[in-house]
Amino acid sequence: MKIGIDSIAFSTSKYVLKLSTLAAERGVDYAKYCVGIGQTEMSVFPPNEDIVTIAVDAAEKSLSKIDDRNSIDMVIFATESSFDLSKAAGIYVHHFLGLSDNCRIFDLKQACYSVTAALQLAKTYIAGNPNSKVLVIGSDIVKYSKNTSGEPTQGGAAVAIVVSKNPRIAEFEPYSGIYSTDIMDFWRPTYATEAIFDGKLSAHNYLKSMDICFNRYLQMSKLTIDNIDYACFHSPFCKMARKANKQLFGEKSIDNSLIYNAIIGNSCSASLYICLISLLDNTAEDMSGKRIGMFSYGSGSVAEYFSLIVADEYKSMLMSQANKNMLSNRAEISFEEYELFRNNKALQGKCYENAGKVSLAGIKEDRREYAIKETEL
């Protein structure tokens, strides 16, 4: 039985900060951003947007390609931006999607690796329950301290993936290379609002982990490097993915996979899968039957190399033009607005749109309150 990705979609903020603006305000040469880390823009989120609101938008898009929502009986929400140590963020999303109450819902955490972990769980579940579908969501909004090397890599997005038998986008192949080790390259204690990181150590471990995973993948699959037609890499910033690609494949182009991430910024759990969407959307040649190598890395650390085989009907499932329109239609914000957004504030007298139908209305007595657009009622 073939099991894999039947539908995939993503969402990000309606607002964008150009890194040329950030560079000017921080007194940094813009080339340090656009060349040094390979980023040109980043999505920035107004105070009425959070990981739930963008997750709902991504999931609505993904589910628009599914005939029967009631066939989804598991929702896995992957994030490292959780706002609650007990209640799963997936519970809120499940409610707003109107899914059946005959459904398992839980969150997963392991830095940027967590969507890959969720997909492996979903694959196993579908193997035992072939008439079911699993909705896997990865949603993160990334904030780093001002005037740090992490600041220009900020961003955020949500990706929503429906896993099922007879997938119409891509089939999971049955082998992976995995490597886990305890390392303090990136972490966020429960008392901290921003992550702590060691950039050099993280980059070193990313590349080391990739080599180990890829060699284990080749040993298990009995494939060779020439059997990989396309490649996607976890992209905390695009230059990292390019370094990884050069180390494995030399001059093989991954340009199409990085088009979206270069203007969204780091989306943590969603990052690798936005690379996948970007690759599918922006590759003109027919990818049917082609193999895509996927490298997933989550600091701390867990890494995995696995592969997908593109389905014959994948083009009919893409939302390429809508994705491009979503990104090109984002409103550019000023540096002043960016600083306000960082502090969960809005420019006085200005209203900000949400990406989808749900917005965060406020937090009262420690309860998160959400509102739905009147046009959606």
Residue 291's closest CA among 305, 302, 281, 301?
305
Catalytic annotation on 95? no
Determine the Cα–Cα distance for residues 156 and 174; give it in Å rounded to an integer: 30
Cα-to-chain-centroid distance, residue 88: 18
- Where residue 147 falls (left for φ over 0; alpha for ψ -120 to 50; beta otherwise) is left
Q: Tokens 């949400």 map to which residue? A: 354
Residue of 41, 49, 60, 80 marked catalytic: 80
List beta partners, residue 158: 11, 139
Helix ranges (DSSP H) in the chain: 19-26, 31-34, 51-63, 89-97, 114-128, 199-221, 238-249, 255-258, 261-264, 271-282, 320-328, 335-342
Produce one character per residue of 146-181: b if its CB has 16 or more CB atoms within 10 Å, e if not: eeeebbbbbbbbbbbbbbbbebbbbbbbebbbbbee
- Angle among Cα 265, 266, 272 to the nearest 5 degrees reads 115
Q: CA 272 to CA 225: how far, in whole Å?
A: 20
Q: Which two tokens stand for residue 33?
A: 């951003």
Single out the catalytic residue among 94, 234, 275, 337: 234
The residue from 34, 112, 238, 268 that is catalytic is 112
Structure tokens at 335: 């540096």
Rg (C-alpha) for the chain, rounded Å, is 19
- Per DSSP bridges, beta strands 15-18 and 3-11 are unpaired
Known catalytic residue at 112: yes
Nearest Cα residue to 6 out of 136, 174, 138, 173: 136
What φ, ψ does residue 188 adopt, rounded to 5°?
A: -140, 105
Contact residues for 332 (Cβ-Cβ < 8 A; gap 6+): 15, 16, 17, 18
DSSP letter for each residue of 50-103? -HHHHHHHHHHHHHTT-S-GGGEEEEEEE-S--S-SSS-HHHHHHHHHT--SS-
Residues 6+ apart with CB under 8 A from 211: 247, 248
Q: What are the residue numbers of the active site?
A: 80, 112, 234
